[in-house]
Amino acid sequence: MKIYRHWTDLPATARGASVAMGNFDGLHLGHRAVIDLARRDAPLGLVTFEPHPRQYFKPATAPFRLMNAEARANRLAKMGVDHLYELPFDAALAGLGAEDFARRVLAEGLGIRHVVVGRDFRFGHNRTGDAGLLTDLGRNLGFEVTVADLVDLDGDNISSTAIRRALSEGDPRHAAAMLGHWHRIEGEVLHGEKRGRELGYPTANMMLDSLHLPKFGVYAAQVDVLTGPDKGTYGGAASLGIRPMFDGEVPNLETFLFDFSGNLYGQHLSVALIEYLRPELKFDGLPALIDQMDADCTRARSILAAV
């Protein structure tokens, strides 16, 4: 998959695609339906924006993204997308009117032949453009427009907002039903305080910058090691939160990989949250903490064996 972070002076091979367009946070089943409608006898493209427009307009808002740009790109490549147009959402792009966006970015810049958007898609300065206007503009500018219906699950519309709610409530299985895949947190393994190693449970430490925070606590997890000599899939138990036992303040993710003895520092992991086991707790001493970690891992192994 080729990634382009602009819409001007693209090579001829990057033009003429059939594209899906939107923010695609989480790449849930509704997003997949939009992408599938873009599959034609043409290169498959996806037009999205980085940073997310909500981050641009409300920089002080609480972290809300379900996946970072790297994780989104990794999943799109697995879905068979040929061209990812990750357009820089800045003052210039935010200031374009709907007609200018369709003409300058989609028609002249990307040279698309077909675009698919969700029925609730909005675009252009002050969100003045909608799917109907895009259809009219495409007719005049030489590209076809398909409007995808919203997808529901048990009568409720699937949305990134609904998935965030499920994760906040400690229900990763319901989130996974809407996503069509397990919710994953991806990133680099960083050096931590190495307390887990001293307790007999060495953990891979990852930051949660700019990501929506699921319910704090311990989860059964499935871990994909994406880089390094130990690439592969492992079961594990993950603790997400501020570590009240050690008076932590900054949320992070610490994952213990079962039956693993390698060095993960600097490697990239994808941690899937499978089932919520318990909330974060402050124990009366390290022996009680270790006993609980033993119980957590036993339960997590049992859960993962049935997945």
Catalytic residues: 254
Query: For helices 172-179 and 160-168, what crossing angle results, to 10°?
Result: 160
**Helix (H/G/I), strand (E/B), else coil: 229:** coil
Query: Exposed, middle or buried by CB within 10 Å (0-12, 13-18, 19+), for 298?
Result: exposed
Give the Cα separation of 233 and 224 in Å (integer): 4
Query: 184-188 and 156-157 as β-strands: parallel, antiparallel, unpaired?
Result: unpaired
Tokens found for residue 301:
């192994």
Strand segments, DSSP code E, in 62-102 are: 83-88
Backbone torsions φ then ψ of 242, nearest 5 degrees:
-110, 5
- What type of residue is 149? D
Q: Would you give the distance in Å from CA 80 to the centre of its chain?
A: 17
| Phi, psi for 108 (deg, rounded to 5) | -80, -40
Phi first, then psi, for residue 103 (nearest 5°) are: -75, -55
Q: Which of 104, 109, 143 is nearest to 124 (CA)?
A: 104
What token pair was written down for 206? 């990852």
Instruction: From 98, 74, 83, 85, select the one nearest 50 (Cα to Cα).
Output: 85
Q: How, if at all, do strands 152-153 and 156-157 pair?
A: antiparallel
